[in-house]
């Protein structure tokens, strides 16, 4: 089985949120799809271990905010890689309560939906929630963030609780390794300008490529990982340098 075929399926990226008895929760999901047009219904797939899943089960309402392509990736780190059990994800973002009482994230969003759960389906590791759309609107005409763009441009992998998570080992084709080996200069003097190896965040999978630097943190291209400031943080999940290998 060639697991790379799964990466040819197209998705967007969304913040799915809910609230029950004053406790708000939200997470980054890519599995949101329209199921019927009349009545308008969409479905989401949520890992059973996600805190937000337990909130949706109790509240029977959820919101979906469609993320825009060009965004501050720290919102993906906070909503995608940190549990709502230990961090108030809503303290740093702009949101509002919908008519049904569900929080709707407005930051980095181009459209939103609020839904009432009409059916819950056990899919194994995940629950499928079928939701009827009660209200929705557009916030911006900017293009949406696609999962493909997220993988290729932000060099990100899905967290382990995502329905689309595929172990890195399964993505190899068995013929050549997936590791990016920097070209070795023939002239020893050129080694002085070799920016060195890529480093990958073990928390979220973001890869720091010295040739690209990190424009989000003002790090110019050609900066070796070793030369990054000691307080450098992963632009996706905010992990420190010590989490990179």
Q: Which of 206, 208, 232, 244 binds Fe ion (CB under 5 A)?
A: 206
* DSSP tally for the chain: helices H, then strands E: 3, 11
- 75 touching Fe ion, by CB under 5 A: no
- What does the alpha-carbon distance between residue 238 and residue 217 come to, in Å, rounded to a whole number? 11
φ, ψ for residue 217, nearest 5 deg: -110, 10
H helix runs in 133-243, sequence order: 147-152
Q: Which stretch binds Fe ion (CB under 5 A): 104-112, 143-151, 178-186, 230-238?
A: 230-238
Q: Which of 105, 127, 145, 234 binds Fe ion (CB under 5 A)?
A: 234
- Shortest Cβ 239–Fe ion spacing (Å): 5
- 204 touching Fe ion, by CB under 5 A: yes
Q: Which stretch binds Fe ion (CB under 5 A): 15-23, 27-35, 58-66, 200-208?
A: 200-208
- Shortest Cβ 96–Fe ion spacing (Å): 29
CB 52 within 8 A of CB 104: no
Cβ-Cβ contacts under 8 Å for 7 (sequence gap 6 or more): 148, 151, 166, 171
Q: Which stretch binds Fe ion (CB under 5 A): 128-136, 143-151, 191-199, 234-242?
A: 234-242
- 64 touching Fe ion, by CB under 5 A: no
Q: What is the DSSP string of 76-95?
A: HHHHHHS-TTTS-GGGGS-E
- 201 touching Fe ion, by CB under 5 A: yes
Q: 119 or 160, CB closer to Fe ion?
A: 160
Q: Which stretch binds Fe ion (CB under 5 A): 49-57, 141-149, 187-195, 228-236?
A: 228-236
Q: Which of 76, 203, 219, 228 binds Fe ion (CB under 5 A)?
A: 203
Q: Which stretch binds Fe ion (CB under 5 A): 6-14, 28-36, 164-172, 202-210?
A: 202-210
CA distances from 171 to 155, 168, 225, 227 (A): 15, 5, 26, 31
- What does the alpha-carbon distance between residue 160 and residue 109 come to, in Å, rounded to a whole number? 24
What the block records as the tokens of 89 is: 């994800």
- Shortest Cβ 59–Fe ion spacing (Å): 30
- What does the alpha-carbon distance between residue 179 and residue 221 come to, in Å, rounded to a whole number? 20
What the block records as the tokens of 207 is: 């890869």
- 228 touching Fe ion, by CB under 5 A: no
Which spans of this chain sit near Fe ion (rule: CB under 5 A)?
Answer: 201, 203-204, 206, 234, 236-237, 239
């Amino acid at each position: 089985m060639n697991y790379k075929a799964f990466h040819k399926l197209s998705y967007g990226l969304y913040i799915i949120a809910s609230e029950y008895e004053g406790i708000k929760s939200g997470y980054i999901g890519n599995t949101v799809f329209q199921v019927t047009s009349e009545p308008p219904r969409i479905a989401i797939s949520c890992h059973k271990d996600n805190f937000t899943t337990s909130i949706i089960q109790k509240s029977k309402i959820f919101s979906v905010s469609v993320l825009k392509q060009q965004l501050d990736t720290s919102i993906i780190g906070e909503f995608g890689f940190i549990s709502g059990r230990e961090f108030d994800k809503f303290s740093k973002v702009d949101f509002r309560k919908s008519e049904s009482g569900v929080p709707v994230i407005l930051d980095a969003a181009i459209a939103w939906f609020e839904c009432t759960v009409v059916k819950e389906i056990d899919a194994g590791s995940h629950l499928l929630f079928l939701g009827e759309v009660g209200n929705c609107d557009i916030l911006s005409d900017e293009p949406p963030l696609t999962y493909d763009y997220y993988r290729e441009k932000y060099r990100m992998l899905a967290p382990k609780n995502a329905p689309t998570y595929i172990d890195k080992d399964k993505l190899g084709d068995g013929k050549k390794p997936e590791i990016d080996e920097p070209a070795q200069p023939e002239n020893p003097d050129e080694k002085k300008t070799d920016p060195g190896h890529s480093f990958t965040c073990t928390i979220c999978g973001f890869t720091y490529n010295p040739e690209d630097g990190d424009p989000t943190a003002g790090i110019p291209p050609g900066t070796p990982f070793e030369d990054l400031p000691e307080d450098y943080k992963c632009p996706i999940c905010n992990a420190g340098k010590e989490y990179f290998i």
